[in-house]
A and B are shown apart, each in its own frame.
Chain A
């Protein structure tokens, strides 16, 4: 069981918007920055969002991140079939002195 909680799956139509939630506690999300990763089938994860809401160079502004209290959210607008992937949230847990990930959310673009 993962330290951070994500919904197992979400789906939406092409062109629509979807949000993926990530829930934790004070010792992880509450006290630390959150990042988000996209993993396409058969490939290594790719950083989408770091420090709650910053995008690395090359990541389109269709992807956004936010944090409030002990929860974080990834938003994706203008969905494309190429966005079908697994998405993971991650952060540091100050109590565990360890990195932690969510269980992952599979995005289906219908």
Chain B
């Protein structure tokens, strides 16, 4: 069974940092691109970042560019999101999601981890 489990969320003050992790199991993690998607309370989905299977291609939303860094460790079947200079508007549930091979779509999602940024 494909599983994605996020961790690392929590409360942080503006300007602070957090590192999110996503542990993958049930599939060959190294063969898939993965994304981070977030959802602010009561709001819609917002794409955050994506990384290809070998980390050759990395993309960010303008809203996080320069502050967030996506990375992965295929040996550990893990995805990461380093979040620096956090702002109140970064408050959201953060999901990791797997990209369908050779197609457009996120076919498996984690349960999400909540990041709250407030003073």
* Contact present for A98 and B45 (CB under 8 Å): no
> Which residue from A32, A47, A104 sits with its C-beta under 8 Å from B45?
A104
The stretch that binds A, out of B10-18, B57-65, B83-91, is B57-65
In the assembly, what is the distance between CA of A103 and CA of B111, in Å? Answer: 20
Q: A44-B95, A50-B100 are in contact. Are A99 and B109 (CB under 8 A)?
A: no
Q: Output the nearest chain B residue to A39 by Cβ-Cβ distance.
A: B45
* Contact present for A92 and B45 (CB under 8 Å): no
Given the complex, which residues of B lie within 8 Å of A98, measured CB to CB?
A: 47, 59-62
* Contact present for A51 and B104 (CB under 8 Å): yes
Interface check B75, CB cutoff 8 A = no
In this complex, the interface size class of chain A, counting residues with CB under 8 Å from chain B, is 20 to 34
In the assembly, what is the distance between CA of A2 and CA of B44, in Å? Answer: 9
Q: Output the nearest chain B residue to A46 by Cβ-Cβ distance.
A: B109
Interface check B26, CB cutoff 8 A = no
Q: How far is the CB of A53 from chain B (nearest CB, A)?
A: 11
Given the complex, which residues of A lie within 8 Å of B45, measured CB to CB?
A: 37, 39, 45, 88, 90, 101, 104
Q: Output the nearest chain A residue to B98 by Cβ-Cβ distance.
A: A47
Interface check B1, CB cutoff 8 A = no
Q: Output the nearest chain A residue to B107 by Cβ-Cβ distance.
A: A47
Q: A35-B104, A35-B106, A46-B109 are in contact. Are A99 and B44 (CB under 8 A)?
A: no
The 5 listed contacts between A and B (C-beta, < 8 Å) are A35-B106, A44-B95, A44-B112, A56-B100, A99-B47
